Structure 1
């Protein structure tokens, strides 16, 4: 056996400690033992300085704000994805901890049984069968005893084989636990990088908006409304609503009802309720409430859920926006969606075509 009992007990204790760490709210994840340094990912490039100067070109300001908030949305999706992976890896580590503890107990029991077999052999003198036959007064009794010896030898062989397999299982569990800790650490770094980028982009956007005078802010809001109206009108002019006639499923109605009840609640990146939401936090919770859990992020919703043609969509379906699937809303019918737009805004109703549509997915297909 390649690893002694002490090493396995240490591994078991180390991993079992994860149970306590993972259960503590707000606890940062960290590896249990020092490891060789890994390559640090490149620092997130800083957000560009707010431009152009306020009051000069409000349309350019609107475009810059759209870019900054879009970058923040992409980073939010990356943060949420890393957070979901961390939850899965944490659960796997806890399960490995249980397996290690169970396996160590089994190994201890096997060792005790092997020790008992060795002591029994010592009591018989450890004589070979030929010597026991020569010293026996009753050949029949000897043959019976020899049969028992053979059974004992086979049992001992099986016992040693089981010990070896259990030892190997424990070593594999320890390796798996170490690999999961490494993934957890990598995920922590990914979350930290995404969080930094989110804060940078939002801070840059807020700084740009803060430099606007009151009348400029009002004009900017009007420009945003006009852009959304123009996009929605162009979408409706395709005649899409004449083709859309699908009725909501029972679960779809429940999802829309949940989303509707959240209207007015603030957008907060990484939030999934009950008081605040980001875009995919709203849609994932809407469908979870309807009894159909779906992926947490808009990108995974786009990848994993069934795609349907826009003319076939029905209330409850999710509309994915932008080429990178960085935004999502839930279709409410009559050409409208309910969504959590961006920082500084609240959950609201908007035109389904007010942003570039990537496609439509159906959670309860």
Structure 2
């Protein structure tokens, strides 16, 4: 698999999304800190549970529309909405408008994502799906290395300039989609006549009910929710734990000289190391596990993500933290491309956008539940929180086991036919 042989659509997506994600990591890790300073921690904590609910609605809408009007128009709308919201954020003089703009950015991305992922599934040969999704993951994580370090400067001191840059990049990507990207949605031979879009959308929403009565898909969603609660702690409880419980220390020592870093910088190094591991190893890891059964990959992922995060609480040495970062990062790394390829193959061709949209439910509910660790940390000791995180991972392993017991008994992509 070589990028130069990819379809033009995929090349445009890779470049556009790669550029945007470099900017994304310059503002996203600091959004909670920004709103905490503006509204206070308790109010900000409640406010941050709202965007995932809007994102869920956006994902379901985007998935339904991408199967009705096509991938390209939905991607255009999602990119344009993000452009407008970034401009609004940059122009805003009110923290509440900032918050509304942040929600709008999330909705635009949520509408865009199912159509974009469906386009990859439409165009990629089945045997190359894992590697192609892994390549996109690599591009999306390049910014995770330097983004947080640069964002600590630019978001707080040059926030308007950063937001305007995001708006310009998204506008450029919108133009590229409009001029270069072609439609990839398979022709729906089952539709004999064009129906009004309102009628068609009602049918699409009914389709989601059928999807969630699919026992295999339902177990997949539940297992993913519990697995993601552990994976998402890198942006939630880990910064709280490291900043409050890991002391500043010397990263390097040479004779009488040492390079000392604070607790906050320890977290920055851990986060940057996590991003570096993704960039360097996502493609090799995808190839290493290419012949593994999906069941085994999902279970290994949950075990490494939960177990690695649990081990964080056992020692505060920076080099030990780097070691356990390798463990929980690889847990996330092996999961990402397999998750996307599983849905791409499992979903019926005519309902692929719906399945991609419904797949985002695990991320939405995961984001809604994951902050419980931060909330409980006021009453429970760190090892209690880390044990809870490990417990979530073990529950996900149980549901993945149940999922693949049923999955073997039924033909692939059997629903909505």
Identify which of structures 1 and 2 has the higher relative contact order when contacts are C-alpha pairs closer than 8 Å and 6+ apart.
2
Larger radius of gyration: 1
- Indicate the structure with greater helix content: 2
Shorter-chain TM-score range: under 0.3
TM-score (ref. length: structure 1): 0.24
